[in-house]
């Protein structure tokens, strides 16, 4: 099979075309013919930082790419619920010992795969798994409830635009930060109210939208130093979910507000073979929500082939992307 491999870690020029052996099915797994994959920030981090990321780094030469949508080619022993020809999607490789989706075929643990939503394309389905699981897990762990006022930081980003839609689906009143007024219409279509964080201070928008009480749930898909803004925006005893917490942080504000912080690291099931069936369950639920017309992945306007994966990484790195960058296999 054709694949894009890396023989060293570095910039986007490290990708090389290679002919690899097509994977053979094993117990509990599926071989999937990949139609599309998408680029996530963690894919770029692994490509750039390699062994600095510990168990995330693949052995070289490696095949990156976590998300995929495609068609089941073969089914391993002890796998139920899947048949040859089924259209599926998942997030099942591209780190550690797991071959990624930048190839014509992927061997995937069936617990990390679900049936593709019927109402969207393969390209759209390939954009959903990592960001969808991340958004869903964060909102559920943070105890989202109908009627809550929820703030999503990074509302038009990969995770953010899914979190806005899911929070709206769960019955919350959703607000989302943007960096450009042109993005406000997107947030409104997703079911939220836009806040331009460059034009309004945290205290200003907290006063404007919550009468100074703060948001009962904050989903911070930006993370890092932005967690300080999340602490400031949160109500007393609020819950905060974050996808990026790799920093030293003063928790004084969180302490005096009695905040609960939920760190979402959705790669744990893949890395440690820990409760992988939960990803199948979440993907199945996401597919249901999609087919109800309540969730739609946003795709970047540019398209890329497998051989153009370096350009696709550069596109995501440009920070001018709304939604997800997709690669056609």
Token pair, residue 324, equals: 């997800």
Give the model confidence (pLDDT) of 231-278 as tens digits: 999 999 999 999 999 999 999 999 999 999 999 999 999 999 999 999
pLDDT band at 98 (very low <50, low <70, confident <90, very high): very high
**pLDDT, tens digit, 9 for 90 and up, residues 204-219:** 999 999 999 999 999 9
pLDDT for 281 equals: 98
Tell me what pLDDT residue 320 has: 86
Does the global pTM surpass 0.95?
yes
Find the helix or strand (DSSP H, E) in which 228 lies: helix 227-233
Domains of the chain, residue spans? 2-128+275-328, 131-263
Arithmetic mean of pLDDT, 68-88? 98
CATH class entry, domain 2-128+275-328: alpha beta
Decide if pLDDT at 319 tops 90. no
Percent of the chain with pLDDT over 90: 99
Contact 325, 38 (CB under 8 A): yes
The domain 131-263 having CATH identifier 3.30.70.141: the answer here is no
Alpha-carbon 39 to chain mean position: 9
pLDDT bucket at 28, cuts 50 / 70 / 90: very high
Is residue 167 over pLDDT 90? yes
Q: Could you read off the pLDDT of 169-204 as tens digits, one per residue? A: 999 999 999 999 999 999 999 999 999 999 999 999
Task: Calculate the average pLDDT of the chain.
Answer: 97
Q: Rounded distance, CA 106 to CA 182, Å?
A: 38
Are 37 and 324 in contact by the 8 Å Cβ rule? The answer is no
* Exposure b/e, 239-255, CB count within 10 A at least 16 = b: bbbbbbeeeeeeeeebe
Q: Is the dihedral of CA 155, 159, 165, 168 positive or negative?
A: negative
Query: CB-based burial of residue 34 (10 Å sphere; 0-12 exposed, 13-18 middle, 19+ buried)?
Result: buried
DSSP assignment of 234-247: EEEEEEEEES---S
19 burial via Cβ count (<10 Å: 0-12, 13-18, 19+)? exposed
What mean pLDDT comes out for the span 130-156?
A: 98
Cβ-based neighbour number of residue 30 at 10 Å: 27
What is the C-alpha end-to-end distance of the chain, expressed in Å? Answer: 11
Q: Give the C-alpha separation, 326 to 35, whole Å.
A: 11
Question: 2-128+275-328 and 131-263: same fold?
Answer: no
């Amino acid at each position: 099979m054709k694949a894009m491999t890396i023989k060293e870690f570095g910039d986007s020029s490290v990708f090389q075309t290679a002919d690899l052996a097509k994977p053979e099915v094993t117990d509990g797994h599926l071989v999937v013919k990949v139609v599309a994959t998408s680029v996530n920030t963690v894919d770029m981090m692994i490509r750039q930082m390699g062994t600095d990321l510990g168990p995330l780094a693949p052995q070289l030469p490696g095949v990156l790419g976590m998300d995929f949508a495609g068609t089941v080619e073969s089914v391993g022993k002890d796998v139920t619920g899947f048949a040859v020809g089924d259209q599926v999607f998942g997030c099942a490789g591209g780190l550690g010992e797991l071959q990624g989706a930048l190839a014509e075929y992927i061997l995937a643990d069936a617990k990390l795969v679900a049936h593709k939503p019927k109402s969207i394309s393969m390209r759209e389905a390939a954009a959903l798994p990592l960001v969808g699981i991340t958004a869903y897990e964060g909102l559920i762990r943070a105890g989202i409830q109908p009627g809550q006022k929820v703030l999503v930081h990074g509302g038009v980003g990969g995770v953010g635009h899914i979190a806005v839609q899911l929070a709206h689906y769960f019955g919350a009143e959703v607000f989302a930060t943007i960096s450009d007024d042109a993005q406000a219409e997107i947030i409104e279509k997703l079911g939220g109210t836009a806040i331009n964080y460059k034009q309004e201070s945290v205290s200003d928008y907290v006063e404007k939208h919550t009468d100074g009480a703060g948001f009962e749930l904050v989903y911070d898909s930006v993370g890092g130093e932005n967690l300080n803004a999340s602490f400031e925006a949160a109500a007393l005893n609020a819950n905060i979910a974050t996808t990026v917490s790799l920093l030293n942080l003063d928790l004084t504000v969180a302490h005096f507000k009695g905040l609960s912080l939920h760190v979402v690291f959705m790669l744990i099931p893949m890395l440690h073979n820990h409760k992988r069936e939960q990803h199948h369950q979440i993907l199945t639920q996401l597919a249901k929500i999609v087919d109800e017309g309540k969730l739609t992945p946003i795709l970047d306007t540019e398209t890329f082939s497998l051989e153009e994966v370096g350009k696709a990484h550069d596109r995501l790195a440009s920070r001018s992307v709304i939604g997800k960058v997709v690669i056609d296999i």
